[in-house]
Amino acid sequence: MNDKLIQLAERRQRLIQLAAQQRGILAQNIEPLRKPFSIADRGLEIMRYFRQNPLLMAGTTALLGIIRPLRYTKWFHAGWVAFKLARNVRRWLAQK
């Protein structure tokens, strides 16, 4: 009986090590998907928020219809490029 307990303990240790190794491999394989999934999750949160607040959704739609965003896309693009540039410079300075 004692030999059987020793064999079970050894098998348990091997299985624990195998599970840890598999968790490490899984974490490495999932890492490239972390950012796209977080973006999709954020989009779902925004959709849920708008679904819970239908007046806000209607107001946003009306506002977009009034200001005609196509007119302002060049300004939005320039602002976005400036924001990304400032963020990259800030990160670069933080590394130094």
Domain boundaries, the chain: 2-52
Q: Is a pLDDT exceeding 70 seen at residue 39?
A: yes
CB atoms within 10 A of CB 27: 10
> What percentage of the chain reaches a pLDDT higher than 70?
91
Tell me: pLDDT of 59 over 70.
Answer: yes
How high does pLDDT run on average in the chain? 85
Q: Which of 69, 65, 89, 66 is nearest to 77 (CA)?
A: 69
Task: Give me the pLDDT at residue 18, please.
Answer: 97
pLDDT at 54 over 90: no
pTM, whole model, 2 decimals? 0.42
DSSP single-letter state for residue 69 = G
Structure tokens that stand for 95 in this block: 């590394």
Mean pLDDT, residues 34-54: 86
Give the DSSP per-residue string, 20-66: HHHHHHHHHHHGGGHHHHHHHHHHHHHHHHHHH-HHHHHHHHHHHHH
| Statement: residue 71 has pLDDT above 70 | no
